[in-house]
Structure 1
Amino acid sequence: MASYNIPDQLKGLSPEEVKTSRERYGFNRIETIRHSAFEMLVDILKEPMLILLFAISIIYVIVGNYGEALFMFVAIVAVSAISLYQDNRSRKALEELEKLNEPLSMVIRAGKVIKLPTHEIVVGDLCITEEGKMINADGHIVHSNDFSVNEASLTGESFSVFKNSDSDNNQVYSGTISVSGLAVFKVDHIGKATKIGQIGDAITSIKEESSPLQIQIRQFVKWMGIAGIIIFLMVWGYSFIQTGSLVSSLLNGLTMAMSVLPEEIPVAFTTFMALGAWKLMREGIIVKKTSIVETLGSTTVICTDKTGTITENSMQLKKLYNYPSDQIFEEDAFNNPALSTLINYAMWSSEPVPFDPMEKTLHKVYESTQKEDVRRNYELFHEYPLEGKPPMMTHLFQNAAKDRIIAAKGAPEAILAVSRLSDQEKDKVRAQITQFGKEGYRVLGVARSDYAGNDFPDKQQDFEFNFLGLVVFYDPPKPGIKEVFKHIYDAGIQVKVITGDNADTTASIAAQAGIVNTVEVQSGNDLQGYTQEALIPIAERTVLFTRMFPEAKLAVVNALKKKGEVVAMLGDGVNDGPALKAAHIGVAMGNKGTEIAKAAAALIITNDDLDKLVVGVAAGRRIYANIKKAIQYIISIHIPIILTVSLPLFLGWIYPQIFTPVHVIFMELVMGPTCSIVYENEPMEKNTMLQPPRTLTDTFLNLRELAISIIQGLVITAGVLFAYQWAVQHAGDEENTRAMVFTTLIFSNMLLSLVNRSFHYSLFNSLKNRNMLFPIVIGLTLILLFAILYIRPFANFFQLKGLSLPELGIALLIAAVSVLWFELYKLYKRYLVGKGQASLH
């Protein structure tokens, strides 16, 4: 408990008392609605594809084709199992994310401060809350200093309320935010018994907005569904006119509808997003909304804080500038008696229970350099929290003898502005501050006041202060940060540094970290005079933004968004909340981030490593590219299925019903896992992170990409129909022709899935990318195909016969020609790229 200076009498619960309380009151959680496996299954059975399968099964039962009916029911079970597996895998991934999103709470138990998951808080616990943390249970304050809380989530009032153990209202409530200081509160209510728990379930579930890609995919599937209904009616009507058989024509129509319906696309999208988020979680990146995975790959600008993101946030006190003697002291000379006053007042101006790294350092330096520690003798009786532009803070202490200490610290400009110094003296100090800044140091000014009255001014700036000197911290850049920014720049992403520090220090650290174009610097005050329109070009060209406050951060983010940039904003403080919320991707730091920052962010980096954001961007690009590959594969393979079902019928060929529902459903069972699970597992193509980001408003398939997929599908169709005619010309009966067409289509499907692994690199290059699911799925498909061809009961059921070795070779040759021509197109594309006439993708 030493690091928090908690009063010794606050011991907290013993392990036995915790157990007793939990047995009586339960866990600190508001239970959300969980869908059971049965409910998930019911949702799956509402899918259009399964409804079609049910309809076909019933027709087969009515006409007495019990074998086909049984197969359809088996297909229903198989499709349901695959969907249930995918849904369950996605749900498990999201539940794991939910667990990681749960904040840790600080609790005093058995005399020790420990961190534990919030749901483990029990009634009677002593919880510690501090600036920027969310309060996670209802209770009453037993100890505090400089503590204020924002209760807007309950009251709607946006201002902060100061509270302590002696206040008329010393209650704190779950879901509210600690704005300043620290408090220890004893837990009275948890879970559903808290005020926020009683308000209702609505507060615990926030509906996610659909991403642009989700909307585009939904629209595409909707139009394909409408097309399926129209084609179903056409085929049913045409077939009925031709045959006069209602059942046979209805089966033809339903077969057609099954071949048109692209139900794999929304399944693939959901699988990609959920598994993408789960994989990022394993990398230490918690994604709060799965749709953000897609947006990550489009990031064009990263706005980053300096302290703790670019730097280590170690805040080592390196130097002290003592103003009365006009001397600079290095850290090995901090014991010099001349520094006693400066060190004392630097410590007294800090929080009595420090949580800021600089204040913790000042307390340690005080402990190690002062002969007598008098902190327990003095009590904080009046204070002015950190405020102003630039900010400062003032604390007033006194002891039993009414001896008073009034100490202030803050941004050097703020402290100089309130100090009794001449302009010449201030200029001398400013020159020293500038020099420290250029060396990359973080500088704070320290001052004292001898105010004797009790009618304290409303504003701390109205005290008369004596300037004591400067405390000089060094927060070095993180190891390897230069390489991180190189990766970001290589990916075509801009970097903006938005910090509360001064211009000189920021410029020095930015240069050490490898950030480019740091000549122009804008301060928060500079930006106040601009309209939003005028701010756009400034936000676009400027890299360093210093002395920034919440409104200024928000203005920069909004200006960049208005320019069309996709903005990732990194922040950790209470003041970063608005900008994190406004950015396309709000990113909070897991270790040093405040709860309010984590609540506002869409992404949390658990170990505060900026390199993880690069990992996230790469994952976003990989997932987006793989979704496109999966969708192009689905479109390309659906075209030959649709045309093979319909053209023999419409053209009056000898065997008009070459495929029945059993053949189409077999294809669907092969395609489903390929497009969702297999393509999702595809690794990122080389040079992906050397390309500029895509535009967020791009459609998931542009006209050129759609045209390529359609052409691929039409060429495969030509090959399959050629196989049909070849079999007929060589005296093949209906079963032989069906086997030839079916086998050619299966071979084409397997080759297409391999060719479409990359739309730039060759098939041989793609085979080097490790994806064990491809050989597994292709191997299983071949086993099933040969079982259907050569095991008599299966062959009879599918109404085809085994092919001879030459026929198999011809089917494979036709499939190869129908699919592998695309490798020549890719070769031509690479040739153009080599000559600089086309982009990589």
Structure 2
Amino acid sequence: MSLHHHLPAHEVVLLVETDVAKGLASDEAARRLERFGPNVLPKVRRQGPLIRFLLQFHHPLIYVLLAATAVTLLLGEWVDAGVIFGVVLANAVVGFIQESRAEAALESLAAMMKTEAAVRRDGRKHRITSAEIVPGDVVLLESGDKVPADLRLTGVRELRVDESALTGESLPVEKADQVLPPETVVADRKNMAFSGTLVTYGQGTGVVVGTGTETELGRIHQLMGETTQLATPLTKKLASFSKVLTAAILGLAAVTFALGLWRGRPVTDIFMAAVALAVGAIPEGLPAAVTITLAIGVGRMARRHAIIRKLPAVETLGSTTVICSDKTGTLTKNEMTVQAILAGDRVFDVEGAGYEPVGSIVEAGEAEVEAKAEAKPRPQPEPGLRDVLREVLLAGALCNDARLIERDGRWTVVGDPTEGALLAAARKGGVDPDRMASACSRVDAIPFESERQFMATLHRLESGRDVMIYLKGAAEKVVGLCDRMLAADGTEQPFDPQRVLDRAEAFAGRGLRVLAFARKTPPPGADRLADRDVDGGLVFLGLQAMMDPPRPEAVAAVRACQSAGIAVKMITGDHALTARAIAGQIGLDGRTDQPNGELSVMTGQDLAATSREALPDAAERTAVFARVSPEQKLRLVEALQARDQIIAMTGDGVNDAPALKQANIGVAMGCGGTEVAKEAADMVLTDDNFASIAAAVEEGRCVFDNLTKFIVWTLPTNMGEGLVLLTAIAAGAVLPILPVQILWINMTTAVALGLMLAFEPKEPDIMRRSPREPSQPILTGTLIERIVLVSLLMLAGAYGVFLWEEQRTESIAAARTAAVNVFVMVELFYLFNCRSLEHTMFHVGLFSNPWIWRGVAAMVALQLLLTYQPIMNRLFHTVPIDAVAWLPILALSLAVYLIVGAEKWLRRQWDAANQRRPRTV
């Protein structure tokens, strides 16, 4: 990796054996291309499509379902076996397609390198593809170019480069040919231009010191290749749940077989009974429920501006404990905005955000100042504070190379974002930049350079004879050139430079970027502007302080996340002061061990000095991380994951891609994000808004709720069926239900009833709960107790009705038909208990989920067909039953609903009493 920033340019030229004036010779370039290889990112070797498809079956839950397929085949139920395997196959196909899309991230990153560049070879200028660039090439840069490789700059002319996609820096970086300390971080290497970044202004010349994988972009490519895709909380919990379920099923089957042998029954009958028990205990509808519930969550999130690329990411959001967010464009508008102005020794607040010229300029703590545009500026304005304010705004509008344009109702800047902010502020103050530019035509200019630290323009006023110099730049530089100031009454008076610098420092302490403005009246008729014309004698006009403001909706979203127990951390490439100020405005919670109570900030240098052992603790306690490199973003995510945190990482740049891939869920920006970030992410926000993340978290929690509700609803049936069979075998009696009837119950109720829980709306308190503990299983102790309770009620009810109906009708077929209907009708009534795991169905609204009622109607119709349709009677060994048989069936079903409702009520009372009980030490 290139470390040439700490060497003088002439030494770098010698090291890479080139000539800045002539460039490489063509034959030498060809030799180097053969030696170093093309300037592209290598393709990573991956598993073939067949292996990736087969790996979709490598999951404990899938093993259980494949076993269910084998069992049903042994029973001769070919249709049922086909249905179960069809579910498994559909899940594998969906997973394969999603994984294939995700693996496109590295190809997208490689595509970023394919561009053209101007180089100097054989003493002449050539345009070649970026793949042909070799170390030692002399590259010529100008506005609009994409930098083709890592360059050590040898000459710059007002060169500014947008490095936001690489470093997270929100403003274009001003480049300079100067020697820097070896420890200088990437974001501060002003004498380097990095591959994949964009030249926004000026010109430059640089020598190639890194190509392909030896660039900063190549290093990120390697980081992405090294990160592994983590299992989501849902997949890990389902894997654990499936292992427990598998063990339980095998255990019950073994007990059944042993009991049958003990009772002296034929081995074949015992084996088929054990198989029937296993079929009953397997929740065949669970994979379909998972897929459909996640898919419904995907649709809901899409309507809330969040596009899910990988289905498990839906649930992961609901389990998120920490959101690591980029600042620029996510928490902020990515539009510089003037927020404060100093004029006439008075401070003004500028309302409104972004480049849209809507808002007022209000004196801090006082009434609004009405600033109206004049047809032309006057060297000696009329007395009055509004004239002084107007003069500061006018200086910002005229000493400016940017333009504001409106497209499709959205205002954007053409040129430097800082200058765009000055134009927007001028319009808010009643100064029309376009009108003033025509009235005060520019005659000459001194462009901004880092050595000067200012820009100056010479303007001819409307009269044609009067001229005026306007100057803007760093406060320290501009104040040193002034000997007077424009006072509040419009007169020129002596001023105190230190007072102005103190004001500028106060603005900077708020994270604002400060520019100072001044003017000077040159001799009449002047048409040239040189450095000597502005080396003193200027009149200080004021300051304008700006920043990229927080999105108002992001502030509310951060508050909602934090109230839901989710920690929000800002990880940005911007400066520490700016990051701290934005974090304070947004309301981030974090360590406040500073004397003034401000949020403490860890910088990239702080992180580099922190040991691996100490980093997890520091990462948990700190909310703001500034000047962070791509490796450090990755380290932070890994450190938080070491504490079992579930991490959602947001970002939009190339530099965010490794961390996006490593995080439990990566969230990319759809509007301003790079394709690399989108491909590496699990979710893409279509509006680039942090507020959409809060909405997605809400939907994710709802998805997990609904999955849990389905599991709590379906398991009692599977357990109850197994217990009925086990009881019959232990008693040496006939089976109350047959394997084919078990399959009917499991498959039809899962589709007609259970899947309707996937459409359940969010419960009112869903964002007032703390995040689920990452180590917490899907089923809590309370839910397991409820499942056991309902299973025992099903066992008692089904077996009791079976015995009663057999005695009443002397028909085993009628008794089995009644038992099947007990299971189905208890499931139907119990479904309403499961609409909320803690409250009654009235808490979520009786008709808030119309799908429940449609499912109930469908299930009733199916059961009537099963009971009274002759074809169904032959297929499933049922017979019609009379009205008397339905009375205990319906009574038992209603009793189960009431018993479970009473259990939930008692638990609520118990929990409330425990909360009221005073704690003892």
Q: Would you say same fold, with TM above 0.5? A: yes
CA deviation string 1:474-498 (max 9, x = no partner) = 6555455554344334323344555
Comparing 357-366 and 817-826, the one that deviates more? 357-366
**Alignment coverage as a number of residue pairs:** 705
- Does residue 1:178 correspond to 2:196, yes or no? yes
1:788 to 858, 861, 866: 866
Corresponding residue of 1:748: 826
Pairing of 1:589-604 with structure 2 (within 5 A): 589-595=669-675, 597-598=677-678, 601-604=681-684
Distance 1:304 1:211, change over 3 A: closer
Distance 1:791 1:182, change over 3 A: same
- Does residue 1:661 correspond to 2:666, yes or no? no
- Does residue 1:433 correspond to 2:504, yes or no? yes
CA deviation string 1:387-408 (max 9, x = no partner) = xxxxx999999xxxxxxxxx99
The answer on whether the counterparts of 2:754 and 2:831 sit within 8 Å (CA) in structure 1 is no
Q: Distance in 2 between matches of 1:554 and 1:58?
A: 51
CA deviation string 1:543-598 (max 9, x = no partner) = 5x486444876777666656665444444455656665665444333333445554
Distance 1:207 1:555, change over 3 A: closer
- SS of the equivalent of 1:216 reads helix
- Does residue 1:804 correspond to 2:882, yes or no? yes
CA deviation string 1:630-683 (max 9, x = no partner) = 222222221111112221122112x2x222221011012124326763222211
Q: Distance in 2 between matches of 1:588 and 1:606?
A: 9
Corresponding residue of 2:188: none
Distance 1:443 1:144, change over 3 A: same
- Does residue 1:757 correspond to 2:835, yes or no? yes
Pairing of 1:573-588 with structure 2 (within 5 A): 573=653, 584-588=664-668
1:520 to 594, 598, 609: 598
- Does residue 1:707 correspond to 2:705, yes or no? no
Corresponding residue of 1:188: none
Task: In structure 2, list runs of 5 or more residues that go unmatched.
Answer: 1-42, 118-128, 134-138, 156-165, 167-193, 203-211, 218-223, 349-360, 362-370, 380-390, 403-412, 427-432, 458-470, 484-494, 519-534
Pairing of 1:368-379 with structure 2 (within 5 A): 371=440
1:824 to 884, 887, 902: 902
Corresponding residue of 1:473: 546
Q: Distance in 1 between matches of 2:895 and 2:846?
A: 23
* Percent of residue pairs identical: 21
1:220 to 241, 266, 274: 241
Q: What amino acid sits opposite 1:662 in the alignment?
A: V
Q: What amino acid sits opposite 1:603 in the alignment?
A: M
- SS of the equivalent of 1:641 reads helix
- SS of the equivalent of 2:143 reads strand
Q: What amino acid sits opposite 2:683 in the alignment?
A: L
The answer on whether the counterparts of 2:62 and 2:88 sit within 8 Å (CA) in structure 1 is no
Comparing 301-310 and 365-374, the one that deviates more? 365-374
Q: Distance in 1 between matches of 2:108 and 2:848?
A: 38
Q: What amino acid sits opposite 1:640 in the alignment?
A: G
Distance 1:790 1:247, change over 3 A: same
Corresponding residue of 1:259: 280
Q: What amino acid sits opposite 1:277 in the alignment?
A: V
Corresponding residue of 2:713: 633
Q: Distance in 2 between matches of 1:215 and 1:73?
A: 32
Q: Distance in 2 between matches of 1:677 and 1:97?
A: 28
C-alpha displacement of 1:79 = 4.4
Q: What amino acid sits opposite 1:623 in the alignment?
A: V
Q: What amino acid sits opposite 1:268 in the alignment?
A: A
Distance 1:652 1:534, change over 3 A: closer
C-alpha displacement of 1:177 = 6.0
Q: What amino acid sits opposite 2:502 in the alignment?
A: A
Q: What amino acid sits opposite 1:672 in the alignment?
A: A
C-alpha displacement of 1:810 = 0.9
Distance 1:558 1:84, change over 3 A: closer
Pairing of 1:2-151 with structure 2 (within 5 A): 49=65, 52=68, 56=72, 72-79=77-84, 144-145=142-143, 149=147
Distance 1:232 1:576, change over 3 A: closer
The answer on whether the counterparts of 2:130 and 2:148 sit within 8 Å (CA) in structure 1 is no
C-alpha displacement of 1:46 = 8.8
Q: Distance in 1 between matches of 2:297 and 2:887?
A: 40
- SS of the equivalent of 2:736 reads coil
- Does residue 1:642 correspond to 2:722, yes or no? yes
The answer on whether the counterparts of 1:293 and 1:620 sit within 8 Å (CA) in structure 2 is yes
Corresponding residue of 1:443: 513
Corresponding residue of 1:620: 700
The answer on whether the counterparts of 1:97 and 1:281 sit within 8 Å (CA) in structure 2 is no
Q: Distance in 1 between matches of 2:661 and 2:54?
A: 34
CA deviation string 1:308-363 (max 9, x = no partner) = 444444424467779xx999998878985787997787759xxxx96663354468
2:417 to 345, 357, 365: 357
Corresponding residue of 2:352: none
C-alpha displacement of 1:275 = 3.8
Q: Distance in 1 between matches of 2:674 and 2:496?
A: 39
Q: Distance in 2 between matches of 1:346 and 1:85?
A: 60
Corresponding residue of 2:849: 771
Distance 1:314 1:326, change over 3 A: same
Pairing of 1:100-499 with structure 2 (within 5 A): 144-145=142-143, 149=147, 178-181=196-199, 208-229=229-250, 231-232=252-253, 235=256, 239=260, 248-304=269-325, 307-317=328-338, 347=401, 357-361=417-421, 371=440, 428-436=499-507, 442-445=512-515, 471-473=544-546, 477-480=550-553, 483-496=556-569
Distance 1:243 1:57, change over 3 A: farther
The answer on whether the counterparts of 2:309 and 2:683 sit within 8 Å (CA) in structure 1 is yes
**TM-score, reference length from structure 1:** 0.66
**TM-score, reference length from structure 2:** 0.61
Distance 1:506 1:429, change over 3 A: farther
Distance 1:496 1:769, change over 3 A: farther
- SS of the equivalent of 1:604 reads strand
Distance 1:249 1:547, change over 3 A: closer
The answer on whether the counterparts of 1:574 and 1:594 sit within 8 Å (CA) in structure 2 is yes
Q: What amino acid sits opposite 1:736 in the alignment?
A: A
CA deviation string 1:80-132 (max 9, x = no partner) = 66667777888899999999x99999xxxxxxxxxxxx99x9x9999xxxxxx
Corresponding residue of 1:651: 731
1:724 to 782, 798, 802: 802
Q: What amino acid sits opposite 1:768 in the alignment?
A: L
- SS of the equivalent of 1:588 reads strand
Q: Distance in 2 between matches of 1:58 and 1:713?
A: 27
The answer on whether the counterparts of 2:231 and 2:664 sit within 8 Å (CA) in structure 1 is no
Larger radius of gyration: 2
Task: In structure 1, list runs of 5 or more residues that go unmatched.
Answer: 1-28, 60-68, 106-117, 127-135, 152-158, 165-174, 185-193, 197-202, 385-391, 398-406, 449-464
- SS of the equivalent of 1:753 reads helix
2:762 to 676, 684, 688: 684
Q: What amino acid sits opposite 2:669 in the alignment?
A: M
Q: What amino acid sits opposite 1:752 in the alignment?
A: Y
- SS of the equivalent of 1:837 reads helix
- Give me the CA root mean square deviation: 5.9
Q: Distance in 2 between matches of 1:538 and 1:92?
A: 39
The answer on whether the counterparts of 2:297 and 2:314 sit within 8 Å (CA) in structure 1 is yes
Comparing 748-757 and 567-576, the one that deviates more? 567-576
